Structure 1
Amino acid sequence: MEILPVTISPSELIEFLFLQLDNLPDERKGLNKTYEIRDMVIAAFSVFFTQCPSFLEHQSLMKKRRGKDNALSLFGLKKIPCDNQIRNLLDRIPATRVFEPFQTVWEWLKKNQILNHFKYLDEEILLALDGTEYYSSKKMNCLHCNCRHHRNGTTTYYHQVITPVIVAPDKKQVINLEPEFIRKQDGETKQDCENAAIKRWLLKNPASKKNQKITLLGDDLYSRQPICELAIEQGYNFIFVALASSHKSLYEWLEFLEKNKKIIKGQVRKYQKNKLLYYKYKYVNNVPLRETEPSLIVNWYEVEIYDKGKEKVIYQNSFITNHQLNDERMEKIITSGRTRWKIENEGNNLLKNQGYNLEHNFGHGKENLSEILLALNLLSFLFHNVLELVNELYQKARSKLEKRKTFFNDIRALVKYEWFEDWSELFVYIISEGEQKRLINTS
């Protein structure tokens, strides 16, 4: 695993969250304020960061037995609240109140040139967009829930979210940014949708805010003129899937150009994991995206990847982009468009199936609980990815246990039975005895 020249510890990342919590208003009435609001937020975060639903309960028992606990030494949590206390208080806090650490991490990565390792097409960063569902119930609901009405008379209430993720073709890790919730907006009665949510995210997050050239990646839902125009206005480039079924006018133009031999065709041979692949492509610049005027002028390409060994097509898709297309850059354009899949494999699917339990109902509440819990879960995912990029002890501990599930199984068991003075001691405990002294000295 590549070791980058800078480092950051779990405690330093958690401090990014602490700094924002100092400004949280306390709207509780009465004198019963045994627990500070920041303690409640950090307590919830600790459960997601350790991927241990019983973390707080175990630390309460450890404190009674041994007079010390990992909640304090690892997370700075002086008092350990119970689950109901956490849920009741967090329900009052909008999830946006814990969004600032996403931006703080971005700035740290940029300042220390870690983001340079994610640059690919035209020295730009690739930002994949996708929506996913993270809560559903037949009973529990709130004013912000969307709903599905079924033929049998029942209703499913659900929450969705857009999770923007920085991806790179040669990087296993992803860097997730602040999410955008797909929820009924204040005062609205109609349901929200992914299309409206991504427009809100673009308006709140112009490329100038990131001070970085960025190309957006997305599926067919995003390749509509209002979204493409807004992306350009906000300083982004884009590569979006564009299917014939949803772009009738565009494909009528392409059919006409194909008949008149105006579409350029080419092929690139590429060895990938000892496989000989043929990237067969065709493209055209400057075609109208829609029939209605004024129409945005875009560039279109189609790619078909043929596996010579298996003698079959293993991938086929079509895209629109505002990047100019030519034979010299088609391989990178194609690779960039395909990298969108990482938001599923290394993003949402990992969050759902590899310990973060994205779709688990951690609590719904009446106002904000489900959203702030999700935000803290996504923040823990971000911190883990950053540590895997730059923290040598974390990298070696992960390599020692190989599988992500094994790593967090050990974390859960260790923090339950053993007390650790800090995160370095915990990681060194996992690593082999022969390396302990050297790693402590170099850390």
Structure 2
Amino acid sequence: MGAAIQKKVRQFSATYLIKTVSECFEKIPDHRPNKCVIPFANFPKSAFAMMHQKCDSLLAFDEERLDKVCCHNLEKLYHVKDGMVPSDTRMREVLDPVDPSGHKTPFKKLLNIVQRNGALKGFEFKCGKLKDYYLLPVDGTGLFYSGTCRCNDCCIMNEGKKNEAYYHNIMGGCIVHPNQKTVLPLAPEAICKQDGTKKMIVKKRLFDVFWPR
């Protein structure tokens, strides 16, 4: 089997990978009409830190954000400028309108790092006549469900009935290998209602969207 991901490679260190993700967030356009106190990139960086640190909830993260040690760590480890961490409510308000495509770039950048360092070779799966293929299990999961709140992109359950409800689902996938403890997650894709029909589809083919070209 080919080379696996080695921690001794500088570009595979947590510091380098987090910095790469942070730089991607810096390039997402700020949709806010006026200049604000908190830099826009601090919002996705803080959200990423919350998920990366596996906080119990957004509320739990919000309760810790004013702690001096927490702010210092967010600034040094996750490049949150000046330790200015947004509240949970403000984080939702600013990040909800952002085009999801802006959050796909970090996935592509990280996979490119794996490719450039030859580590993707270690995920090639060979079985019988099959060679140079990759295992990519996919699964769907729900993100939002409401009987009253909806947006233009919501999927609809029980349409036209009294119990009509609205929801969002996504499809996610990872490159895996039986002999590797590490998995390589690819950017998730929204499962949307196709215009003019009730058929639920994934907007684009998985590899067309996620695989770096």
Q: Which residue pairs with 1:73 in the alignment?
A: 76
Q: Which residue pairs with 2:61 in the alignment?
A: 55
Check the 8 A contact 1:46/1:75 in 2, yes or no. yes
Which structure: greater helix fraction? 1
Say if 1:58 and 1:118 are closer, same or farther in 2 by CA, change over 3 A: same
1:9 matched to 2:13: yes
Alignment length, in residue pairs? Answer: 199
Larger radius of gyration: 1
Return the alpha-carbon distance in structure 2 between the equivalents of residues 3 and 100 of structure 1.
21
Q: For structure 1, which segment, 83-92 or 133-142, has the greater mean C-alpha deviation from structure 2 after superposition?
A: 133-142
SS, match of residue 94 in structure 2: helix
- For structure 1, the 5+ residue unaligned runs are 211-443
SS, match of residue 141 in structure 2: strand
Return the alpha-carbon distance in structure 2 between the equivalents of residues 162 and 22 of structure 1.
26
Check the 8 A contact 2:123/2:177 in 1, yes or no. yes
1:135 matched to 2:144: yes
Q: Work out which of the residue numbers 136, 156, 169 in structure 1 matches 2:178.
A: 169
Return the alpha-carbon distance in structure 1 between the equivalents of residues 17 and 115 of structure 2.
15
Runs of 4+ in 1 over 6 A off after TM superposition: none
Measure how far apart 1:168 and its partner are. 1.1
Q: Which residue pairs with 1:84 in the alignment?
A: 89
Q: Which residue pairs with 2:25 in the alignment?
A: 21
Measure how far apart 1:56 and its partner are. 4.1
Check the 8 A contact 1:162/1:198 in 2, yes or no. no
Measure how far apart 1:148 and its partner are. 1.2
Per-residue CA shift, 1:71-105, capped at 9, x if unaligned? 22221222111111111111221111011111111
Return the alpha-carbon distance in structure 2 between the equivalents of residues 132 and 28 of structure 1.
30
Matches within 5 A, 1:102-181: 102-121=107-126, 122-149=131-158, 153-181=162-190
Measure how far apart 1:203 and its partner are. 4.0
Q: For structure 1, which segment, 4-13 or 42-51, has the greater mean C-alpha deviation from structure 2 after superposition?
A: 4-13
Per-residue CA shift, 1:183-237, capped at 9, x if unaligned? 236xx353452xx31644344457xx45xxxxxxxxxxxxxxxxxxxxxxxxxxx
Say if 1:189 and 1:37 are closer, same or farther in 2 by CA, change over 3 A: farther
Say if 1:3 and 1:174 are closer, same or farther in 2 by CA, change over 3 A: closer
Letter in 2 for 1:127: L
Say if 1:202 and 1:191 are closer, same or farther in 2 by CA, change over 3 A: farther
Say if 1:199 and 1:23 are closer, same or farther in 2 by CA, change over 3 A: closer
Letter in 2 for 1:58: E
- For structure 2, the 5+ residue unaligned runs are none
Q: Which residue pairs with 2:38 in the alignment?
A: 35
Q: Which residue pairs with 1:335 in the alignment?
A: none
Measure how far apart 1:135 and its partner are. 2.4
Check the 8 A contact 1:164/1:179 in 2, yes or no. yes
- TM score, norm. by length of structure 2: 0.80
Check the 8 A contact 1:183/1:191 in 2, yes or no. no
Measure how far apart 1:137 and its partner are. 2.2
Say if 1:68 and 1:201 are closer, same or farther in 2 by CA, change over 3 A: closer
Letter in 2 for 1:190: T
Q: Percent identity?
A: 25
Check the 8 A contact 1:26/1:37 in 2, yes or no. yes
Say if 1:24 and 1:67 are closer, same or farther in 2 by CA, change over 3 A: closer
Say if 1:17 and 1:67 are closer, same or farther in 2 by CA, change over 3 A: closer
Measure how far apart 1:117 and its partner are. 1.4
Measure how far apart 1:20 and its partner are. 2.0
Q: Which residue pairs with 1:190 in the alignment?
A: 197
Measure how far apart 1:25 and its partner are. 2.1
Per-residue CA shift, 1:6-44, capped at 9, x if unaligned? 25232321222222223222232234x011110011111
Matches within 5 A, 1:269-348: none
Return the alpha-carbon distance in structure 2 between the equivalents of residues 100 and 44 of structure 1.
16
Say if 1:172 and 1:135 are closer, same or farther in 2 by CA, change over 3 A: farther
- TM score, norm. by length of structure 1: 0.41
SS, match of residue 21 in structure 2: helix
Letter in 2 for 1:71: L
Check the 8 A contact 2:158/2:165 in 1, yes or no. yes
Say if 1:173 and 1:41 are closer, same or farther in 2 by CA, change over 3 A: same
Per-residue CA shift, 1:324-373, capped at 9, x if unaligned? xxxxxxxxxxxxxxxxxxxxxxxxxxxxxxxxxxxxxxxxxxxxxxxxxx
Q: State the superposition RMSD in angstroms.
A: 2.7
